[in-house]
Amino acid sequence: MFFKKISEIHLITFLFIVFFIININLHGFIFGHEGHAGPHILAASINGESINWDFFFDDIIIDDNGYSNYSLYNHHPKLIFYLYGIIYSLVNDLTIILPLSYTVSYFFNFIGIFFIYKVIIHQTSNYKLAVFSILALIGVSNIASFLNLSTFDSLSIISAALLYLLMIDYDKKSHIINLVGWIVTILFLFNISWYNHLIFYVFIGIKFLKSLFNGDIASFFTLKKTLINFSALICTTLIIIFIINDFNSIDKIKLIGDSSAKGFGNKAFLGFNFYESIFQLIQYFAKSLPIILILFFLYTIRKNFKKIHLNKNKVDVIITLFVSTLVFFLLDFRWNMIHNFLGIYIATFTVIIITNLISKININVTIILIQFVFSITIASYYFWLDYKESTKTEYIMKSLEELNIKSSEKRFIYLEGGLSVSELSDKEIPQNFNKGRLFLIGSLPISKGFVRNPVYGQTIILKKDGTFKLY
């Protein structure tokens, strides 16, 4: 009765306000890897907008001859960099760049959460289940801690939801408008993240093998499937060609270090021994799965197995999630352990899949309230970590602003020691900084980039204690 009296707009507004309040008042850098990856992506986005939309750089250092040297960051699809770059090209106040990035990311994530809520309502017509599900999603550590993370992963929730819908619809007959809609969706998804590419190709690989083993290979090459698969393949191919072309076209630009793509493959399985790896995996999935929803699901199937709604398409999606996760870990175990970004996809897919499996099950209000308290507690915990780190580091942007440097009067940035960010060891990084934060400082509107030697009257010195002074 309680839920029938509250409209969905009231509920969504309430959740939006609660988590918006949790994520405001962050004016400095945030906690953990989020406080590294976010500034890193922002730096590349700002550099792409201010230097050349074809290339994205995270580190810029000016040599003694006045020539710029760059560290290329062009190995991701570019859509999210364009979005952030356009937004921050309008910002002149240094103190609002970080709060704005958190707010933008929060809006992106909340759009994904609201979209999942509408999908569940449409597929199950179960209002209480939809409420329970989005609370379960918000209560996952890798969701709650990433709500304000300023990277392409702020679109991961809606990406996972769209991928799920595409997979469920894949075998159905479609009219031309529906087909065009899915092709446009693929173009959107594939220009966000490589995760979307791999997950989709694992799915169609499973579909192909099934049709092959069933002796019905023709079913895989229907007009709809062929157009969708061909569109995906063309999109992936073009992105790879553009990236390779970027590397080949950059002969006139001096690069810092290795220009090859960073990330997958270079440190696979290194850094953890067997027992440590098992522990890390347990911890990883504990932070990536909706625990209360899973426990409720296990309790439900024990008592109401006949009410579990399972079909071939959902089995294919479940297999896709399992195989994709395995492939990502095989590609680079250590990278995934450190970044946890895959956890956003795991959490989102798990919530949508379980919700559809128990769509005919009645949800008790008590379990929803338990999930609500749990989700608020998890979100509050990560907010507290972010708030402490933000409070500790908010002086950084304020101290830059207090130098009263106009954006039209750009200065060089000098790190004591004269090294570029890419060349710094952990011990040489200034207090309360990491490389991602340094990349952002060197990419701000008032910066020309880092220099090895300070230029009198044109340089900001970043001291070892993390403070700035004019030179």
CA 313 to mean position of chain CA atoms: 27
3-state secondary structure the chain: CHHHHCCHHHHHHHHHHHHHHHHCCCCCCCCCCHHHHHHHHHHHHHHHHHCCCCCCEEEEEECCCCCEEEEECCCCCCHHHHHHHHHHCCCCCHHHHHHHHHHHHHHHHHHHHHHHHHHHHHHHCCHHHHHHHHHHHHCCHHHHCCCCCCCHHHHHHHHHHHHHHHHHHCCCCCCHHHHHHHHHHHHHHHCCCHHHHHHHHHHHHHHHHHHHHCCCHHHHHCHHHHHHHHHHHHHHHHHHHHHHHHHHCCCCCEECCCCCCCCCCCCCCCCCCHHHHHHHHHHHHHHHCCHHHHHHHHHHHHHCHHHCCCCHHHHHHHHHHHHHHHHHHHHCHHHHHHHCCHHHHHHHHHHHHHHHHCCCCCCCHHHHHHHHHHHHHHHHHHHHHHHHHHHHHCHHHHHHHHCCCCCCCCEEEEECCCCCHHHCCHHHCCCCCCHHHHHHHCCCCCEEEEECCCCCCCEEEECCCCCEEEC
Q: What pLDDT score does 262 carry?
A: 44
- Amino acid sitting at position 217: I
Contact 359, 129 (CB under 8 A): yes
pLDDT tens digits for range 351-402: 999 998 888 888 888 999 999 999 989 988 998 999 999 999 988 888 888 8
Q: What pLDDT score does 146 carry?
A: 85
Q: What pLDDT score does 91 carry?
A: 76
Q: What pLDDT score does 190 carry?
A: 94
Q: What pLDDT score does 266 carry?
A: 42
Q: Where are the domains of the chain?
A: 2-30+93-391, 399-470
Positions in the chain whose pLDDT score sits under 50: 1, 5, 258-270
